[in-house]
Amino acid sequence: MKTDVIVVGAGPAGLMLAGELSLAGVRPIVLERRAVPGTAHKASGLGGRILDMLRYRGLLDRFAAVGTPIAAPIFPFGGMHIDFTSLADGPMDAMGIPQARVEELLAERAGELGAEIRRGHEVVALDQDEERVTVRIEGPEGAYTLTARYLVGCDGGRSRIRELAGIAFPGNTFPEVNRLGMVRVPDTVPVRDDGGLDLPGYGPISPGFTRTERGVFAIGPVDPAQRTMFFQTTEEDRTEYDNDDPLTLAELAASAHRVLGAELPLGDPIRLSRYQFQARRAERFRSGRVLLAGDAAHLLPATGTALNVGMLDAVNLGWKLAATVQGWAPAGLLDSYHEERHAAAGRALQQTRAQAALRRGQDEAADALRAVFQELFADEPALRRLAGMISANDVRYPVPGADAHPLAGTFAPDLPLLTDQGETSVAELLHAGRPVLLDLADRAELREQVRGREPRIVIVTAKTEERPADAILLRPDAFVGWAAAVDEPADTAATGLRDALDRWVGQP
Ligand SMILES: Cc1cc2nc3c(=O)[nH]c(=O)nc-3n(C[C@H](O)[C@H](O)[C@H](O)COP(=O)(O)OP(=O)(O)OC[C@H]3O[C@@H](n4cnc5c(N)ncnc54)[C@H](O)[C@@H]3O)c2cc1C
């Protein structure tokens, strides 16, 4: 059997990609080795730019109906907390929503748009040549092969696809051992109103991180009605354990005892896991007809960032791969996925590695480093810069030319617009996931440049108060491909737009 695109893995990255490809008119086959969707507690929320992106696709309401928006969050950073509540405009949006629900909603959307999700189908071998990729799959009815024009490995940090495609995954594993348990709190331990604990023999423990001389202890809610919480310990001193053996309640309790110096009574566990953070990035996000996205492409050594970055990979790749399959992609469009997202992952690695450095160390120098950062967290410019890093709101893709408009390469602002048909907005224009030339100053010579490239791109003439540019080329992933300065001369604006159209939309 032959298809256009195979997506391996129905995690957040694979399902987001399946939806984006389908929106652009290419219906992929998603192969997922698990027979039923996973219910394990992983990420407990979404944060940062992906929430804007979901809104720009008209999907945010679905997520908000299930999740809990957090307007001004207190965010974990390097074993400390950054309190963004002092900033009135909330530069770091977050939403509490279990990862399993995120995956459910993404699968629902991909299915509605025509993607086929095959559960219980594991890819075990891969071969590619100049024209196709062929995979061998073990499915519920036995083994079979499937051939596609492209394949995307969204198969997680231990990616088999990455290995089969021969893509290196350089980086490091941090020695600290984290032990995580989702556990019922016994009735003998009082849970405080703020979600913390009064631990006999230790005293009050606030939600979030507690640092002691022997490590870090963290707690947070899972299901307050059932008195279930997550408990996590982080220890630098290596204790004896066999990594092949699963974490037990006794091992978690012993670790908590070492860190807190007090006994932590633990009830029935829902989930127990032991892990070490890794900082890794695939050397290439593309090898011929095989691409990587999500954890398969990068592992970040801090919580709260990976879903955002991985789902944004999918949004960046979806339209480019669809354009390639549909035959209208300009030269280099698919390779720009690696150029843009490899760099974006590098930025995310930088801030999460910095978090690893802040978390580590029990000596005076490490304490001083944390104290200095804690002071910086009180300053508005520092808070805003960190919000930009954590949310990925500060990502600017490279743009050619030193005199590019400041909007070029950035995520498009959600301008309110007035058109002949009535009120709309940049976010609404991007629901369909197609390139748009947004003409904000009735510039006929710019609209003329689009002629012959429709219907790949649509033209929208609109007015907005205090326009930041005379015209904006919106890419389907909501990034600005090009913009004309207010009153930019016709010849330079037309040339700039023509070049940008050639680059992002293809020749007439
Ligand atoms: C306890 C825990 C807490 C976390 N907390 C956070 C958090 O707070 N914030 C955050 O952003 N992230 C968090 N993460 C990380 C987040 O869960 C991952 O970054 C995310 O799941 C990665 O998504 P993905 O789609 O790239 O890969 P995955 O979710 O790993 O999905 C990969 C899929 O591919 C399938 N697969 C693998 N191999 C094959 C194959 N050969 N054939 C077919 N299918 C295959 C797998 O079964 C899986 O379903 C947490 C993770 C854990 C474990």
Q: Are residues 152 and 130 part of one domain?
A: yes
Q: Are residues 260 and 160 part of one domain?
A: no
What are the start-end ranges of the H helices in 130-180?
Answer: 160-164
89: domain range? 2-169+282-391
Q: Are residues 457 and 429 part of one domain?
A: yes
| Longest CA span, the chain | 76
The answer, yes or no, to whether residue 72 has pLDDT greater than 70, is no
Does residue 401 fall inside a structural domain? Answer: no
The answer, yes or no, to whether residue 70 has pLDDT greater than 80, is no
What value does the mean pLDDT take over residues 116-136? 98
User: Total structural domains in the chain?
Assistant: 3
Calculate the average pLDDT of the chain: 94
Beta carbon of 32 within 6 Å of any ligand 1 atom: yes
- How many CB atoms are located within 10 Å of the residue 142 CB? 7
Does residue 403 fall inside a structural domain? Answer: no
In the DSSP assignment, the letter for residue 463 is B
CATH classification at residue 323 = 3.50.50.60
The predicted model scores a pTM of 0.95
CA–CA–CA angle 139, 144, 145 (5° rounding) = 125
pLDDT confidence of residue 79: 87
What value does the mean pLDDT take over residues 100-112? 97
CATH classification at residue 483 = 3.40.30.120
Confidence of residue 36 (pLDDT cuts 50, 70, 90): very high
The answer, yes or no, to whether residue 273 has pLDDT greater than 80, is yes
Q: Are residues 180 and 160 part of one domain?
A: no
Does residue 370 fall inside a structural domain? Answer: yes
Ligand 1 midpoint to CA 12 (Å): 7
| Residue 201 token pair | 């023999």
Does residue 435 fall inside a structural domain? Answer: yes
The answer, yes or no, to whether residue 71 has pLDDT greater than 80, is no
* Chain center to CA of 332: 24
Measured distance CA(474)–CA(304) in Å, rounded: 28
Q: Are residues 332 and 225 part of one domain?
A: no
Does residue 145 fall inside a structural domain? Answer: yes
In three-state secondary structure terms, 208 is: strand
Taking each helix axis from N to C terminus, what angle separates 306-326 and 49-56, rounded to the nearest 10 degrees?
Answer: 40
CATH classification at residue 183 = 3.30.70.2450
Atom of ligand 1 nearest to the CA of 157: 30
Q: Which of 361, 391, 421 is the last residue of a domain?
A: 391
Does residue 45 fall inside a structural domain? Answer: yes
Atom of ligand 1 nearest to the CA of 41: 1
Does residue 82 fall inside a structural domain? Answer: yes
Q: Which of 218, 249, 278 is the last residue of a domain?
A: 278
Ligand 1 midpoint to CA 401 (Å): 38
Q: Are residues 153 and 79 part of one domain?
A: yes
The answer, yes or no, to whether residue 322 has pLDDT greater than 90, is yes
Instruction: Give, using CA atoms, the residue closest to atom 1 of ligand 1.
Output: 42
Confidence of residue 274 (pLDDT cuts 50, 70, 90): very high
Confidence of residue 290 (pLDDT cuts 50, 70, 90): very high
Q: Are residues 157 and 177 part of one domain?
A: no
Does residue 322 fall inside a structural domain? Answer: yes
Q: Are residues 202 and 291 part of one domain?
A: no
Beta carbon of 181 within 6 Å of any ligand 1 atom: no
Q: Which of 278, 313, 344 is the last residue of a domain?
A: 278
| 435 φ, ψ (degrees, to nearest 5) | -65, 145
- How many CB atoms are located within 10 Å of the residue 192 CB? 12
Beta carbon of 196 within 6 Å of any ligand 1 atom: no
Q: For a ligand 1 pocket test, name from 17, 20, 30, 33 the mutation site with the most ligand atoms within 8 angstroms of its C-beta.
A: 33
